[in-house]
Chain A
Amino acid sequence: MEQGIWGRFGAFHPVVLFVYFASLLVLLIFQFHPVVALLGLSGGLPFLFIIKSGSKIKKMLLFYLLFFFVLTVTNLFFTHEGQTPLFYINDKPVTLESGIYGAVMAALLIAVLIWCQCMQVILTSDKILYLMGKSIPRTALVFTMSFRFLPLFLRQMKKIARAQKAMGLYAGDSVYDKAKGGVRILSSLIGWSLENAMDTACSMKARGYGIRGRNDFSLFRFRKSDALMLALILVLTGTVFLGIVRRDITFSCYPAVSTVSFTLPACTAYAAFGILTFLPFLTECRERIKWKHQKENIHDERVGDATGIFFLPGCKKTGA
């Protein structure tokens, strides 16, 4: 998770990120098409590779492969529509069409899951809160406070458990005893957290929460690059939608698998969707190359410097 302020795609304004993920996920969830599935997977996987650590990825890929296999096979045995029987089980045909339907559907589902993981890394809770806080501030406050309470309560729960142990209230080996001990801790936690919450509420009231005319602070600025990115995303999404509405890209499996059209309008829609899915990966690559280049420049300067010591501007004057 090396995102944060150094994050490259993640550095765009939350509104831009939200529009991006929303339009991408809507297309992936609701447009049943093999090309869409393929582009969604091929754009999402390299991006996920960059933003997540490598060790987990291998396990995840294995899981997804298994998932793909299971979904495809189960669809073969559940759906008997289609014209091309491969073989028969109990006088019921197992068809090629249902296999292809299952495979495309599974690929789409995996693409959605991969993009959801990317979204979780990029669209962090502070950004979600920023998006919500504008329109529904009170609801957003509940959301953010519960988020903060999670680690606080976990720590308190451990404290309570230790204290109860010290008082001699051990949980025995039986399930009943354990459950009773758990509930005793939970009950004590409820009492403590409610009291604590009331203190917080009083403090908030004393500082003037809910008074008219207060404004809020946020680090997010809508820059020119954000506007450009947002425009690009909207144009690309619009192009794909146009292709869907005009039925340039359609695909169906039953009764027979339709051919994937490669007419000019269809290709335009594919291209637009392809650019959309590769946008984060390309942005990330561009920024990394830029950073590497700049780092080399820094290195050159240091070699050229006779003393080899850097002075920040103004350091000598203040004598620091």
Chain B
Amino acid sequence: MKSRTYIRIFLYFILIPAVILVGIHIFQDRKYAFVTLAVAICSCIPPFIGYEKRSADTGRIVVLAVLTALAVIGRAAFVFLPGFKPVTAIVILTGMYLGAESGFLCGAFSALLSNFLFGQGPWTPLQMFSWGMIGFFAGILANCLARHKILLLYGAFSGILYSVLMDVWSVLWFEDAFSWKRYVAMFLVSLTSTVMYMVSNVVFLLLLAKPFGEKLSRIQKKYHL
């Protein structure tokens, strides 16, 4: 157990900063782009390892796989309505019911898997990070989110968060410095989809929260998860 803790400390405090420092030194002209991508990829590692270490039983693994697949299908099923997707809602509910690390995995894998259909690109790690974090915090805040109004508020907030993170990434990627002018332009262009994200998160949480909770707790009771 102890050596594992050392490995973790090594990873967090030595390896990740070292990667970032060396990267900044090598790619001086593109340091912002490097830092954002490096942070996004590196922050995916701890939850994966954490999930690995948990002695979760087979049932929980399979349920997580089911929920991830449902999130991806949700993204594919509503492909004709850009921005109006149940993915975030399902990720939030997964985080709430299965815990923070499972929420992260559900978010990250929904992004990775659905991009096999929609196209992978340099944005994939960022999407994995954003959706993963939304699921992760849903797991941490599970007790607060049990209140319906706060859940809906969190849904709306995560719509904004997702949009802002992706816009900041695009600006840093293209310019390698943060320019407010370009960010405001990006923000205005993506304003409709941001509003779409918020509305769809709230709508899907409203519609899905009850059947989701009922079914999951039924399964939990029936199979002693």
Q: Is the CB of A201 within 8 A of B219?
A: no
Which of chain B's residues 83-123 have a Cβ closer than 8 Å to chain A? 86, 105, 109, 112-113, 116, 119-122
Residue of A nearest to B179 (CB): A78
Q: Is the CB of B120 within 8 A of A120?
A: yes
Q: Is the CB of B51 within 8 A of A30?
A: no
Q: Is the CB of A193 within 8 A of B27?
A: no
Residue of A nearest to B23 (CB): A30
Q: Is the CB of A142 within 8 A of B109?
A: yes
Q: Mark B13-24, 1 if CB is under 8 A from A, else 0.
A: 000000000010
Chain B residues contacting A116 (CB-CB under 8 Å) are 119-122
Chain A residues contacting B59 (CB-CB under 8 Å) are 197-198, 201
Chain B residues contacting A136 (CB-CB under 8 Å) are 48-49, 52
Assuming the contacts A136-B49, A190-B212, asked whether A146 and B27 have C-beta atoms less than 8 A apart, the reply is no
Does A53 lie at the interface of the complex (its beta carbon under 8 Å from any beta carbon of B)?
A: no
Q: Mark A23-53, 1 if CB is under 8 A from B, else 0.
A: 0010001111000000000000000000000
Assuming the contacts A105-B174, A244-B26, asked whether A197 and B65 have C-beta atoms less than 8 A apart, the reply is yes
Chain A residues contacting B30 (CB-CB under 8 Å) are 29-32
Select one of A143, A186, A196 contacting B208, CB under 8 A: A186
Q: Mark A96-127, 1 if CB is under 8 A from B, else 0.
A: 00000000010001001100110110000100
Does B185 lie at the interface of the complex (its beta carbon under 8 Å from any beta carbon of A)?
A: yes
A109 to B175, CA, bound (A): 12
A251 to B109, CA, bound (A): 37
Does B160 lie at the interface of the complex (its beta carbon under 8 Å from any beta carbon of A)?
A: no
For chain B, what secondary structure do more than half of its interface residues adopt (helix, strand, loop), or is it mixed? helix
Q: Is the CB of B26 within 8 A of A241?
A: yes
A41 to B206, CA, bound (A): 47
Assuming the contacts A105-B174, A146-B109, A193-B70, asked whether A201 and B62 have C-beta atoms less than 8 A apart, the reply is yes
Kindly provide the distance from the CB of B65 to the nearest chain A CB, expressed in whole angstroms. Answer: 4
A105 to B29, CA, bound (A): 12
A-B pairs with beta carbons under 8 A, tally: 151
Kindly provide the distance from the CB of A65 to the nearest chain B CB, expressed in whole angstroms. Answer: 18
Q: Mark B41-82, 1 if CB is under 8 A from A, else 0.
A: 000000011011000111101111110111011100100000
Does B40 lie at the interface of the complex (its beta carbon under 8 Å from any beta carbon of A)?
A: no
Kindly provide the distance from the CB of A124 to the nearest chain B CB, expressed in whole angstroms. Answer: 9
Q: Is the CB of B63 within 8 A of A138?
A: no
Does A256 lie at the interface of the complex (its beta carbon under 8 Å from any beta carbon of B)?
A: no
Q: Of A164-172, A202-210, A225-233, A279-287, which binds chain B?
A: A202-210
Q: Is the CB of A194 within 8 A of B215?
A: yes
Assuming the contacts A150-B113, A201-B61, asked whether A186 and B122 have C-beta atoms less than 8 A apart, the reply is no
Interface residue tally of chain A, by bracket?
Answer: 35 or more
Chain B residues contacting A109 (CB-CB under 8 Å) are 174
Q: Is the CB of A198 within 8 A of B122?
A: no
Chain B residues contacting A204 (CB-CB under 8 Å) are 58, 62
A65 to B44, CA, bound (A): 34
Q: Is the CB of A142 within 8 A of B58?
A: no
A245 to B113, CA, bound (A): 36
A234 to B74, CA, bound (A): 41
Q: How many residues of B contact A (CB 8 A)?
A: 57
Does B8 lie at the interface of the complex (its beta carbon under 8 Å from any beta carbon of A)?
A: no
Assuming the contacts A30-B34, A209-B58, asked whether A190 and B51 have C-beta atoms less than 8 A apart, the reply is no
Q: Is the CB of A29 within 8 A of B33?
A: yes
Q: Is the CB of A145 within 8 A of B62?
A: yes
Q: Mark B140-164, 1 if CB is under 8 A from A, else 0.
A: 0000000000000000000000000
A32 to B65, CA, bound (A): 39
Q: Is the CB of B69 within 8 A of A149?
A: yes
Residue of A nearest to B34 (CB): A30
Q: Is the CB of A147 within 8 A of B34?
A: no
Residue of A nearest to B219 (CB): A194
Q: Is the CB of A139 within 8 A of B105?
A: yes
Select one of B26, B73, B122 contacting A153, CB under 8 A: B73
Chain B residues contacting A75 (CB-CB under 8 Å) are 174
Select one of B52, B61, B122, B211 contacting A190, CB under 8 A: B211
Residue of B nearest to A27 (CB): B27
Kindly provide the distance from the CB of A111 to the nearest chain B CB, expressed in whole angstroms. Answer: 11
Does B2 lie at the interface of the complex (its beta carbon under 8 Å from any beta carbon of A)?
A: no
Chain A residues contacting B66 (CB-CB under 8 Å) are 145-146, 149, 193-194, 196-197
Does A163 lie at the interface of the complex (its beta carbon under 8 Å from any beta carbon of B)?
A: no
A187 to B209, CA, bound (A): 10
Chain A residues contacting B57 (CB-CB under 8 Å) are 201
Residue of A nearest to B73 (CB): A153
Does B188 lie at the interface of the complex (its beta carbon under 8 Å from any beta carbon of A)?
A: no
The 7 A-B residue pairs with the shortest CB-CB distance in the complex, in nearest-first order: A149-B69, A145-B65, A30-B27, A146-B68, A187-B211, A146-B69, A201-B59
A-B contacts, 5 listed (Cβ < 8 Å)? A138-B51, A141-B61, A145-B61, A149-B65, A194-B216
Residues of A within 8 A of B (CB): 25, 29-32, 71, 75, 78-79, 105, 109, 112-113, 116-117, 119-120, 125, 136-139, 141-143, 145-147, 149-150, 153-154, 157, 179, 182-183, 186-187, 189-191, 193-198, 200-201, 204-205, 209-210, 241, 244-245, 250-252
